[in-house]
Amino acid sequence: MKTLKKLAVPALLACFIVMASGTDASKEIERIQNSTQVIQDFGKMKESIPSALIQHAEGIIVIPHMLNAGLAVGAKHGRGVAMAKMADGGWSNPVFVTVTGGSIGAQIGVQAVDLVLVFNTAMY
């Protein structure tokens, strides 16, 4: 739980940095807030991301509300943030990412998921 809170702090700080830049960044702020909420919600779950995994992680990507849909042809799309662990053990400022994909095959349905990808090797 404490480890997940450490991830939320850089994301919240980035909200203030984006707001202070003076640009119209409402979408970016919302994306950071949604990603932070996903991490906080994961921390409250009974079967959360193991803290040892987060402590040893070199990077993380959070995609809130990623949409998967398919009817013979499938598609997925989501926008979120990525953060890398710095040399001092802290987390970098968030970088905005987009995940898009497609598939062909027997499928039908629509699904929205909160996707969290944890990387155990350096992303640089």
* Entry field: residues in the chain: 124
**What are the sequence ranges of the domains in the chain?**
2-119
Of 72, 73, 63, give the one whose Cα is nearest residue 113: 63
34/81 Cα distance (integer angstroms): 10
Q: Give pLDDT tens digits for 57-113.
A: 999 999 999 999 999 899 999 999 999 998 898 889 999 999 999 999 998 999 999
The answer to whether residues 85 and 11 touch, using CB atoms and an 8 Å cutoff, is: no
pTM of the model: 0.74
